[in-house]
Amino acid sequence: MYPPKTGYVIPDSLSEVIEFLKAHDDAKILAGGHSLIPMMKLRIVRPSYLVDITKLKELHYLDKKEEYKIGATVTHYEVSKAQIPLLSEVASKIGDPQVRNMGTIGGSISQLDPSADYPAALLVLNAKVKIKGPSGERTEEFSLFDKDMFTPDLSQGEVVTEVSIPDVSSYKYSYQKLERKAGDFAIVGVAVLIKTNGDEVEDFRIGVTGVNNKAYRSQVAEEMIKGRKINDEIIDKIAQEVADESNPTSDIRGSAEYKRKATKVMTKRAILDALKR
């Protein structure tokens, strides 16, 4: 319950954040605080300083031109109201309302909990992550940024500043989250994007969270259906393939065997739900 002692930094600009983080390797950025403060309350982490970025206006914006550009400190609630195909639906299913009022997209992807909701969607959306650090700015595919569980591609002094999402308004989509109760992390979460041309599937993308070290896309399943017509048989094959590629662990949310079966079920649901829209 009681966090360990920590210093606290209120920077006036992003460059001050980068400078401070570069000089203090065990300082941590404080965004929404809804992963970091719970970890501090359990004393799992003991940062020397917290660098509060919540008041930096330069990280808080949501623009749409050819693509959506989402500043790192935009909250889940704001994403859920922004009518971004797929991503807004995913954001609305994170945690509970109070969590969504504080938690941010930049914080979620810098934390990279393997059961987080965003990664399944960010993978299928081909999202990009903008990072600023001591040696300047770089942009990384989310799929490469997500190196492993709790392991983002960030070096010392680097900060996620933006997530960009290509416009997929010509796609049907669905995010299906299996959870024990409202507000929980996913047992498994499946995001799909489907573009159809008549009965034929022009593009199909599927991303899965909760059942591996990190979220994954099944390229085998995606290729199975491209250029073909959807029927029950092929949906079953895709779902089986997606489940076969999962590598879940047994924990309080269920056994590995159950989670693999659930992955198949949720994949089917996601595809059928997307097609209905």
Residues in binding contact with other proteins, number by CB under 8 A:
38
Would you say 242 and 222 are in contact if contact means Cβ atoms under 8 Å apart? no
Which residue stretch of 41-49, 124-132, 140-148, 158-166 sits at the interface with other proteins (rule: CB under 8 A)? 41-49
Work out how close the CB of 183 gets to other proteins at its nearest, in angstroms, rounded to a whole number.
5
In the shown chain, the binding pattern of residues 127 to 166 toward other proteins, with x for contact by CB under 8 A and - for none, equals ----------------------------------------
83 lines the binding site for other proteins (CB under 8 A): no
- Which sign, positive or negative, has the C-alpha torsion 212, 216, 222, 224? negative
**23 is a contact residue toward other proteins (CB under 8 A):** no
Which one, 25 or 232, has the nearer CB to other proteins?
25
**CA–CA separation, 248 and 256 (whole Å):** 5
Distance CA 52, CA 1 (A): 21
The 250-269 contact track toward other proteins, x by CB under 8 A, reads --------------------
The answer to whether the CB of 62 falls within 8 A of the CB of 78 is yes
Q: Would you say 117 and 209 are in contact if contact means Cβ atoms under 8 Å apart? A: yes
x/- contact string, 167-196, with other proteins (CB under 8 A)? Answer: --------------xxx-------------
Q: Is 91 in the site for other proteins (CB under 8 A)?
A: no
Helix axis angle for 256-276 and 232-244, nearest 10°, is: 140
Choose among 61, 55, 56: nearest CA to 74. Answer: 61
Reduced to 3 states, what is the DSSP secondary structure of residue 43?
coil
The span of 2-10, 152-160, 198-206, 264-272 binding other proteins (CB under 8 A) equals: 2-10
**Please, are residues 154 and 160 in contact by the beta-carbon 8 Å criterion?**
yes
Binding site for other proteins (CB under 8 A): 1-12, 16, 20, 30, 33-34, 37-38, 40-42, 48-50, 52, 54, 77, 95-99, 101-102, 181-183
